[in-house]
Structure 1
C-alpha cells in the first residue's frame, strides 16, 4: 500500500529548530511540550511539501526545492497570496495560515490547511474496486471543478493587480521556449519544429479567467467515498489567462489505454486514467465545452503547447538533477520523458483536433 507521507528524503530535511519556534510565535493555540513530527509528502516533483504535527495540531508546510531555481519559479509569497484570494470563492483551495520570509530558513515558505481525503496518484486505493461508473464519475467531477474555477470573477480579487491577461498566450509560448532553452541539457531535433509551429499558430485568446495551470489527479483530493473533490493543491502556476490553456494542461495529463508509448513515464506500468470509464482527452474537452459554453475549435494548439510546456517543466527538474542540485533518484531518467513529450508534440503539429 502506498502511503501519503514518507520519511524525509536525504538532503531535503527541514530546519526544525528554526521553523517550530516561528510557528508557535505567530499562530495561536499551538500546544507546548507535546511531540513534534515532521514527515514529507510523497507526491510532487517540484516544490517540497511536509506534514507538520504538533500534538493534535496539523498543517502542511510548502517550500521551494533545494538548490538554485529558475528565475520567477517557486514563488512562495505569490502562491500564498493567491490562496488567500481564491479560497474565499473556491473552498477546494486550502486555507493559508502563515507566510515566512527568507529570514527564517533562507527561503520563503508557508503553512496551510491539511485536508484529509484521497489523492489518486500512482494507483487506486486497495479497498476500492475500479468500475466504469466510478471512472466516469471521477472524470466528470474534474470537469465540473475546472469549470467552477473558471467561473470565478477574478476582478473581485487581488489577481487583478497581480496578473496581466493581455498578451497571455504570446508570453506563455515565448516564455516557455526561453525556459526550455535555459534548462537544456542536450539537443533534441523536434524542438525547433515545435517552437516554429507554436509561434506561427497562436490563436485569438478566449476571455480570460483564473486558471490553475497544473490541474491533474495528483493535485486533487477527493473525499473518502470518491464522491466529491474537496481539495485542489499546487497553485504555483495560477494566474489570469486563457482558460483553454488550462484545459489543455489538464488533458495533457490524461493517459489513454491505447496511447502512444511516448506519453508514458520511463518504466511506468500504467495510469489510473486508463482504467474503465475515465474520459479520453477528447471526451474531457467536449464535456468541458458543453458545461462552460466555450468554443474549443483551436484545441490542437492548446494541446501541442501543453505538451511542450510539460516537457519544459520536466526538463527544468532534470536539469537540477543533472547539475547535482537534487539527489532524488526519481529524476534520473526524466530526460527520456522530455524527448518523448517533444516527439509527441511534434506529431500533434500535423493533426487537427
Structure 2
C-alpha cells in the first residue's frame, strides 16, 4: 500500500532491485530480500526514494537522469556534509550508507535515516487545515530554522573548510551566470526563451553591485518551505531539513534572498498556484519574515537585501532552466518540467523589475 508522502516509481526512473539488494546486503539493518521501493514525488532535481526492508525504512538519494554539470548533484559530498552537520544541527538527517560504485545504479548514491513529517508545498495540507494559527506557526518555524542554521559555529564544528567564504558572493554571480549561459545554449529548439529576455542585463547588474559578504556561516543554498518536514501535530516544530547537496560556507543573506524569492512567488516551479507564503492568508508577509530573522539573529539586514533577492530570482531561473534543458533534450519525460522555460523567463523579468524598483507584477 502506497503511503501518503510517497508514490509508485515514475516510469523510466526505476531502480535495478537485484543490484541494489547485492549492494545493501550485510551493510544495513533490515530484510534486504523484502526490499520494496517507492518514490518521493515532489522533487525536481535529485531522485529520492523510500526503501522499505521489512520493518526498516531508509531514504535513498541519487543524481537525476541524464548528463549533469561537473561537481553538481554530488551525493557522496552531500552524505559527507550530513555526517558533519547532523551532530550540531539535529534537523539534518543522519546518513547511513554511501555507495560510490556506479555499477549499482549508474551513479553514486547514499542512504539516510527516514524522517517523518508533513511537507508543505503549494497549499496548506489537511493536517493543519483546522488549525487557525498553523500558517503563522509554519512561517515562524521556517525562518527560525534558517536563523538557527546560520547560527552554527562553523569553527567549533570544524565546518569552515566546507567552502571558501572570502569572495563567495562574486563567485556566486560568476558561477550561476555560467550555468545560465550553458543551459540556454543547450536548448534544442532555441526558441523556448524570448529573444528580448534581459538576462545579460541582470547578470551585469549583479556583477557590478556585488556586496562584500555580510558574514561567514553555513549556507544551505536551497532553503525553502518544501525542503522542511513538520510535525503533523505541531506545525511549529520542524522534524527535518532536507536537500543539502549545495551546502557550503558563505554569506547567509544568499540563503535569505532565495528563501524570500520562493516565499513571494505567485506559482511554484511546475505551475502550481502558490497558496502558501507571503500572499496567503495567515502566513507571515515578506517584511514580517525578515523582521523575525533579524530578531533571532540579532542583526539588521533589511538595508542590504535587494541584491540578494535579485540573486535569488536569478538562481531559481537557472535551476529551472537547467531542469527544462534536460527535459528538452529527452533525458527525462517528467511532464512537470514542460512549463519551466516560461517560468525561467518570468523569473529573469521579475529580477529586472526589482532592479528597476518596480512594484511586484504577477505573471501572465
User: What range describes the TM-score normalised by the shorter chain of this pair?
Assistant: over 0.9
2:139 alignment partner in structure 1: 139
CA distance change for structure 1 residues 150 and 270 in 2, over 3 Å: closer, same or farther?
Answer: closer
Q: 1:156 is paired with a residue of what secondary structure? A: coil
Deviation at 1:130, TM superposition (A): 5.7
Gaps of 5+ in 1: none
CA distance change for structure 1 residues 204 and 32 in 2, over 3 Å: closer, same or farther?
Answer: closer
2:305 alignment partner in structure 1: 299
Does the 8 Å CA contact 1:40/1:50 hold for their aligned counterparts? yes
1:164 aligns with 2:164: yes
Q: Deviations over 1:75-125 (max 9, x none)?
A: 111101100000001110111000000243231100001111111113322
Gaps of 5+ in 2: 188-192, 360-364
TM-score by length of 2: 0.90
2:272 alignment partner in structure 1: 268
1:342 alignment partner in structure 2: 348
Deviation at 1:227, TM superposition (A): 3.0
TM-score by length of 1: 0.93
How does 1:62-81 map onto structure 2 within 5 Å? 62-81=61-80
Task: Select the residue among 308, 316, 328 that pairs with 1:310.
Answer: 316
Q: Select between 125-134 and 135-144 the one with higher mean Cα deviation.
A: 125-134
For residues 89 and 215 of structure 2, the distance between their equivalents in structure 1, rounded to whole angstroms, comes to: 20
**How much is the aligned-residue C-alpha RMSD, in angstroms?**
2.0
CA distance change for structure 1 residues 306 and 38 in 2, over 3 Å: closer, same or farther?
Answer: same
1:194 alignment partner in structure 2: 202
1:280 alignment partner in structure 2: 285
1:98 alignment partner in structure 2: 97
1:328 aligns with 2:334: yes
1:247 aligns with 2:256: yes
1:5 alignment partner in structure 2: 6
Q: Deviations over 1:17-72 (max 9, x none)?
A: 11122112222x32255x32100101100000000001001000000001101221
For residues 264 and 24 of structure 1, the distance between their equivalents in structure 2, rounded to whole angstroms, comes to: 40
1:39 alignment partner in structure 2: 38
Q: 1:155 is paired with a residue of what secondary structure? A: coil
Q: 1:81 is paired with a residue of what secondary structure? A: helix
Pairs aligned (count):
346
For residues 103 and 268 of structure 1, the distance between their equivalents in structure 2, rounded to whole angstroms, comes to: 37
For residues 58 and 268 of structure 1, the distance between their equivalents in structure 2, rounded to whole angstroms, comes to: 30
Q: 2:72 is paired with a residue of what secondary structure? A: coil
